[in-house]
């Protein structure tokens, strides 16, 4: 299936605080822009894959959105892998297209936790709430603590991730947070859940984003101006709650990347630019290790010396990622991957021919990988 399907169009809303907008409105705007970008008519769409809004679950949301778009797709619905959903849905759309279940699919997601409720990120973990066990950040703090103790990972190394993303976001006119971060500012940033500081944590954002997926052949027939081939994808599920998973510092990102690399027929050494899900800085270090960019435990050292910054060996999150562009769970990374492969990124990596994109959800419960080419 390598290269048989393409991302034909991308679209997104403004990011940040968008009062008065519900998730349907954000999704519709993102879809309209993605269709415009692909240069195709809405009525050609016969697949609609929707990430459910994290902050408010409602039954049959995929159909609610289909009505708002006035579509009656052949396949579609809502998928929940948390932050891994977007890339997983792109891969499901590609498989559906390959097998004749639909021809042109929209994959989209929107949420408004910033003006709505961020409760989903601070919720109690069942009966363990009696021990004060609440919230998503604390789960990542458990991973980070173990990683630091097990491998000697240092705060400066986690800071290097935040500094790279914030540097890139500062250059992005669409980014929610356009303020570079210094190492001193990192250390001045207040502790939230040790060892994670505020500067280790992603933004909370309103916004929506969408992509149009179709076969390369169809894109050619329709005269799509800048289709970006999907070279590979893969998924992996760590699944178990942090407290019970046997290994806190290795995740199913290993499986996900292995599947995607096998499909794409390439390896980490062939990747020119990466968009790595950075809900927390530790997530990036673990993902880089699990993907094979460095050995297990060496993510911290790998992040040092500006390697992840533009001009470095492996620039990541060139539009700012979750730490700086928008806290939206994952699609912004796909959009930036598409721009890098089109050669239209704001911080374009010179001669970039392959981009890897990671999406992951929960506390590294779910993982999905996408490899884009030219």
Partner 1 sequence: MTAEFPVPQRTPISESYWQGLEEGELRYQHCEACGNAWLPARGECPRCLKAEWQWTRATGRGRLVSWTVYHIAHHPAFADRLPYNVAIVELEEGPRLITNIVNPDEAGGLAIDRPVELVIERDHGVALARFRLRQPEQ
Q: How far apart are CA 91 and CA 204, in angstroms?
A: 26
Task: Select from 149, 187, 343, 344 the one that contacts partner 1 (CB under 8 A).
Answer: 149
Count of residues making up the chain: 374
Nearest to partner 1 of 192, 222 (CB atom): 192
Task: Select from 36, 194, 221, 304 the one that contacts partner 1 (CB under 8 A).
Answer: 194
Q: How far apart are CA 109 and CA 137, in angstroms?
A: 22
Give me the 82-121 binding string for partner 1, x by CB under 8 A, dash otherwise: ----------------------------------------
What is the nearest approach in angstroms of partner 1 to the Cβ of residue 127? 4
Token pair of 115, please? Answer: 């003006």
Task: Select from 1, 142, 222, 353 the one that contacts partner 1 (CB under 8 A).
Answer: 142
What is the nearest approach in angstroms of partner 1 to the Cβ of residue 362? 16
Task: Select from 195, 227, 236, 327 the one that contacts partner 1 (CB under 8 A).
Answer: 195
Give me the 201-230 binding string for partner 1, x by CB under 8 A, dash otherwise: ------------------------------
Q: What angle do CA 255, 258, 263 make, to 5 degrees?
A: 130
The answer to whether 121 and 137 are in contact (CB under 8 A) is yes
Q: How far apart are CA 16 and CA 199, in angstroms?
A: 17
Nearest to partner 1 of 100, 132 (CB atom): 132
Report residue 355: phi and psi, to 5°.
-125, 135
In this chain, which stretch among 43-51, 74-82, 104-112, 185-193 interacts with partner 1, using CB under 8 A? 185-193
Q: How many CA atoms lie within 13 A of 191 on its CB side?
A: 5
Task: Select from 84, 89, 138, 181 the one that contacts partner 1 (CB under 8 A).
Answer: 138
In this chain, which stretch among 33-41, 193-201, 222-230, 361-369 interacts with partner 1, using CB under 8 A? 193-201
* 239 near partner 1 (CB under 8 A): no
* 250 near partner 1 (CB under 8 A): no
* 128 near partner 1 (CB under 8 A): yes
| Count of residues touching partner 1 (by CB under 8 A) | 33
* 248 near partner 1 (CB under 8 A): yes
* 188 near partner 1 (CB under 8 A): no
Binding to partner 1 in span 4-63, by CB under 8 A: none
In angstroms, how far apart are the furthest CA atoms of the chain? 60
Q: How far apart are CA 110 and CA 287, in angstroms?
A: 24
End-to-end CA distance of the chain: 15
Nearest to partner 1 of 59, 130 (CB atom): 130
What is the nearest approach in angstroms of partner 1 to the Cβ of residue 305? 27
User: CB under 8 Å to 174, separation ≥6 — which residues?
Assistant: 12, 14, 15, 319, 325
Task: Select from 122, 188, 221, 313 the one that contacts partner 1 (CB under 8 A).
Answer: 122
The answer to whether 6 and 105 are in contact (CB under 8 A) is no
C-alpha distances out from residue 166 to 21, 118, 303, 359, Å: 27, 22, 14, 19
Q: How far apart are CA 167 and CA 319, in angstroms?
A: 9
* 141 near partner 1 (CB under 8 A): yes
Pair type for strands 5-12 and 207-215: antiparallel
Across the strands, what pairs with 74? none
* 286 near partner 1 (CB under 8 A): no
Residues lying near partner 1 in the complex (CB under 8 A): 122-135, 138, 141-143, 145-146, 149-150, 190-196, 242-244, 248
């Amino acid at each position: 299936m390598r290269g048989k399907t393409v991302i034909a169009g991308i679209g997104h809303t403004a990011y940040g605080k968008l009062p008065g907008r519900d998730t349907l409105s954000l999704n519709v705007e993102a879809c309209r822009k993605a269709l415009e970008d692909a240069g195709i008519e809405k009525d050609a769409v016969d697949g609609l894959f929707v990430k459910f809004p994290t902050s408010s679950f409602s039954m049959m949301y995929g159909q609610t959105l289909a009505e708002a778009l006035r579509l009656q797709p052949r396949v579609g619905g809502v998928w929940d892998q948390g932050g891994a959903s977007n890339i997983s849905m792109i891969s499901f759309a590609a498989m559906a297209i390959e097998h004749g279940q639909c021809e042109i699919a929209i994959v989209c997601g929107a949420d408004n936790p910033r003006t709505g409720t961020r409760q989903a990120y601070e919720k109690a973990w069942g009966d363990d709430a009696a021990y004060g066990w609440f919230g998503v950040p604390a789960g990542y703090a458990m991973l980070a603590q173990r990683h630091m103790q097990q491998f000697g990972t240092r705060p400066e190394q986690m800071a290097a991730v935040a500094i790279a993303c914030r540097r890139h976001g500062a250059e992005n006119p669409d980014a929610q947070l356009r303020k570079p971060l210094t190492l001193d500012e990192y250390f001045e940033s207040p502790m939230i859940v040790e060892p994670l500081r505020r500067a280790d944590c992603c933004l909370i954002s309103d916004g929506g984003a969408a992509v149009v997926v179709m076969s390369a052949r169809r894109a050619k027939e329709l005269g799509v101006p800048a289709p970006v081939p999907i070279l590979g994808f893969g998924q992996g599920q760590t699944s178990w709650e942090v407290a019970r998973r046997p290994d806190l510092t290795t995740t199913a990102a290993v499986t996900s990347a292995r599947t995607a690399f096998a499909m794409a027929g390439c390896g980490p050494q062939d990747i020119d630019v990466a968009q790595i899900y950075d809900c927390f800085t530790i997530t990036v270090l673990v993902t880089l290790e699990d993907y094979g960019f460095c050995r297990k435990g060496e993510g911290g050292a790998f992040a040092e010396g500006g390697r992840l910054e533009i001009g470095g060996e492996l620039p990541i999150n060139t539009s700012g990622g979750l730490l700086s562009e928008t806290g939206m769970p994952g699609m912004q990374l796909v959009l930036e991957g598409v721009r890098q492969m089109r050669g239209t990124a704001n911080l374009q990596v010179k001669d970039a021919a392959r981009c890897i994109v990671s999406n992951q959800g929960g506390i590294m419960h779910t993982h999905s990988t996408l490899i884009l080419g030219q």
